[in-house]
Structure 1
Amino acid sequence: MNRALPLAGVRVLDLTRLLPGPLCTSHLARLGAEVIKIEDTGAGDYASPGVRRLTNAGKRSVRIDLKNPQGLAVLHRLCATAQVLVEGFRPGVMARLGVGYGALAAINPALVYCSITGYGQDGPYKDEPGHDINYGALTGVADQVGSAAGPALSNLPLADLMGGTLTSAMGILAALFDAQRSRQGRHVDIAMADAVLAHAVMPMAELLAHGETAPTGGDVLTGRLACYGLYATQDGRHVAVGALEDKFWHTVCERLGHPEWAALHRSHDPQVQARLRADLARVFMGQPLRHWAALFEGAQACVSPVLRLSEALEHPQLVARGAALRDAQGQWQLPSAVKFGGEPRAMAGATPAAGEHTQELLTELGYAAQEIAALQDTGAVA
């Protein structure tokens, strides 16, 4: 029997831009929520076309000028029909526009109102601008990313995704669950810096145990041990070795033809680890990636080829799971990462053009055709 998705019947108003907020609401859409993307009548969401397509698929889109009193009235009417609102403006901006939590809670007391910012709604940095790199830097996390050769920049922005996206979704779902029982909403205050720090378990454990974190590239997961790292291959690719446990490391040594390395696995001598790392680097450099992928396929050794994204999309495991799917136009789509037992992955629909559903949504709200035309003429909506 086909069941409705868990968030079916939940309406989300999405006033966010760029990556963290749109991806958060995209996850909610893939779990069944109806997400209405609300953009201004000017620049709107200025994310790149690719990011916009991936993070806004399946949403409906309306353009509203919140500085126009008539546009503000439209949002108020929308708010009365919604369970969740998500915004990503600097602290105070929404309140100045007349759509802060207090104003909207007066219209809809059960509304879950999520604000996503870099540093939160209070504190001396609340008005500071920033990006993913800044939030990681200020929380001590960027110091722990990279190798002894220096810090690394990632194309997987941890603060944006772990903080702005996933932590927001977690807070929204918790508040929504409570609102279903209490009929009282909440203001969910998400700071990306807070969220990064809350997940910095490994360096925090090191700090608590030794009074200081390991230097960049000096912790277990960043280069201290030769059994955990990336090694270059003959063809300029890389292989990932994650043999932290003895049983996996023994298999690695046997497959590489060096059983004598097994005893060096967890040596605390930095020189021993450096020599072992150099030996591993020399061996892996001797063959192309396809050789190592074949050698360790099914070996139960925690050794994997470092695939390019185009290769990963075709990997048998990800194909079997439906982790990435092609839409009707043959374009890759990323369905929900949450897979419910016995049910197909939830695919998003098409990505709307800005304002594509303005007339449709206003009609649903009870506006007559003449009223909609008047709103468009005054620039309140588009």
Structure 2
Amino acid sequence: MTATDGDRGTPARHGPLQGVKVIEIAGLGPGPYAAMLLSDMGADVVRVDRPGPVSGRPEVYALARGRRSVAIDMKQPEGLATLLDLVGVADILIEGFRPGVAERLGFGPETCHSRNPRLVYARMTGWGQDGPFSRMAGHDLNYLGLTGALTLLQHSADSPPPSPPGFIADFGGGGLMMAFGIVSALHEAQRSGSGQVIDAAMVDGVASLTTLIYSMTAQGRWNLDRPGTNFCDGGAPYYAIYETADGKYLAVAPIEPQFYATMVDLLGLSLDELPDRDDPAHWDELKELFAGIFRAQPREHWTALFDGTDACVTPVLTFAEARHHPHNLARHTFVEEFGVVQPAPAPRLGATPAAIARPPAIPGAHSREVLLDWGIATERVGTLVDSGVVVESPAREPHSA
């Protein structure tokens, strides 16, 4: 899935965003995820790192795949000037600082747009560029909590909300939303010649993800005050997790009546003999019935029984099991690149497919190469490197310790 070519290992042409130049100011979480998505789709993404010691193993950090890295000391005037020279030929800039920090560092939107009016300037924050919380720190759990989204994961009104791993707000509401905003603004810039600023806030993105819940509430199909009692939040017997005889689990989700009928039939039951599933008063009774049936056999028995049917019953897999499931293997949903198992690029485009352009970069590994490729004169590049304004780091093999 890796695509490289050329003597210097520059990114091969792939994906619909080939030719698009992106500056990613190094950060954490959702910003890098958005940059990864753009890179997978063919954009030439250059991560601007700070010079300094490198901790951990950045060469196997899959979230950083596909990019080249240039290390620039932007505290020096020549370092800032070099960044702004790159801005002058870029299509997109991604930064994830708190409001006002980029301006203080000298590369805020106004400065960048004075150098390049077509630039799409994408700002990733948790709380947004304004509002009472805008300058506060926060994490995924905070954004889920403030939007009400966290209550959707409660099993009941009497149980506390869970603490899910930090990917719903950070990556669904944050990085993915930012990438969508970027390609939308890029389309407008190519049409009109004018760039714009994207205020991508994780709290806004999470709120957007809950649109369906607001819609169903307005229709009288969802009770916000009673989590765990709705048709697809674990309340209904036809949308729940059931344990099997070997201590494993099944995801049982035949919401539609015809799919429910298929499941009931395969379980050897008769719809006519069962309580009405559309009456919540019978849900506990049905749950107990199904739970007893599913606990009678191991997971693989049920997997084989429901395989290829419309019963909407599938195994709950571990990460290791998911990698080897026949469906995921057939679609190459997971790949192993640079010694790391990871999800393959998504979604899949028929004419201009996405690809992993290269392994994650050691900060500064492509400093000279990037500056030359992006139009900085050879003599000036040499001066920047010799003075320490731009730092070159030796590349490490992905499998090295």
Normalization by structure 1: what TM-score? 0.91
Q: Does 1:254 align with 2:265?
A: yes
1:76-112: CA deviation from partner (whole Å, max 9, x where unpaired): 1111121000010000000001100000000011000
The equivalent of 2:232 in structure 1 is 221
Q: 1:14 to 1:373 in 2, by over 3 A?
A: closer
- Relative to 1, partners in 2 of residues 1:253 and 1:238: Cα closer, same or farther, differing over 3 Å? same
Structure 1 position 128, deviation (Å) = 1.2
Q: 3-state SS of the aligned residue for 2:233? A: helix
In the alignment, structure 1 residue 347 sits paired with structure 2 residue 356: yes
Aligned to 2:279: 268
The two structures, once aligned, show a CA RMSD in angstroms of 2.4
SS at match of 1:103: helix
1:263-303 Cα distance to aligned partner (Å, 9 max, x none): 53533233x10111111111111111111101111122100
Distance in 2 (alpha carbons) for counterparts of 1:316 and 1:185:
45
Q: Match for residue 23 of structure 2? A: 13
In structure 2, the residue matched to 1:374 is 386
Q: 1:285 to 1:50 in 2, by over 3 A?
A: farther
Q: Return the alpha-carbon distance in structure 1 between the equivalents of residues 256 and 112 of structure 2.
A: 53
2:321 to 311, 321, 329: 311
CA distance in 2, matches of 1:312, 1:262: 36
Runs of 5+ in structure 2 lacking a partner? 1-11, 393-401
Q: Distance in 2 between matches of 1:50 and 1:245?
A: 46
Deviations along 1:344-366, one digit per CA (max 9) or x if unpaired, are 55233111111101122233411
SS at match of 2:165: coil
- Give the corresponding residue for 2:33: 23
CA distance in 2: counterparts of 1:76 and 1:266, whole angstroms: 63
CA distance in 2, matches of 1:122, 1:262: 58
Q: Which has the higher contact order (CA 8 A, sep 6+)?
A: 2
Q: Secondary structure at the match of 1:341?
A: coil
Are positions 1:127 and 2:138 aligned together? no
Aligned to 2:191: 181
Give the 3 Å change call, closer, same or farther, for CA 22–43 of structure 1 in structure 2.
farther
Letter aligned with residue 232 of structure 1: E
Structure 1 distance, partners of 2:84, 2:368, is: 16
Aligned residues: 375
Contact 2:384 2:390 in 1 (8 A): no
Whole-Å separation in 1 of the counterparts to 2:151 and 2:264: 32
Who is 1:239 aligned against? 250
SS at match of 2:232: helix
Gaps of 5+ in 1: none
- Percent of aligned pairs with the same amino acid: 35
Aligned with residue 335 of structure 1, among 322, 344, 351: 344
Is contact 1:15-1:87 (8 Å) kept?
yes
State the distance in 2 between where 1:142 and 1:266 align: 27
Distance 1:68 1:235, change over 3 A: same
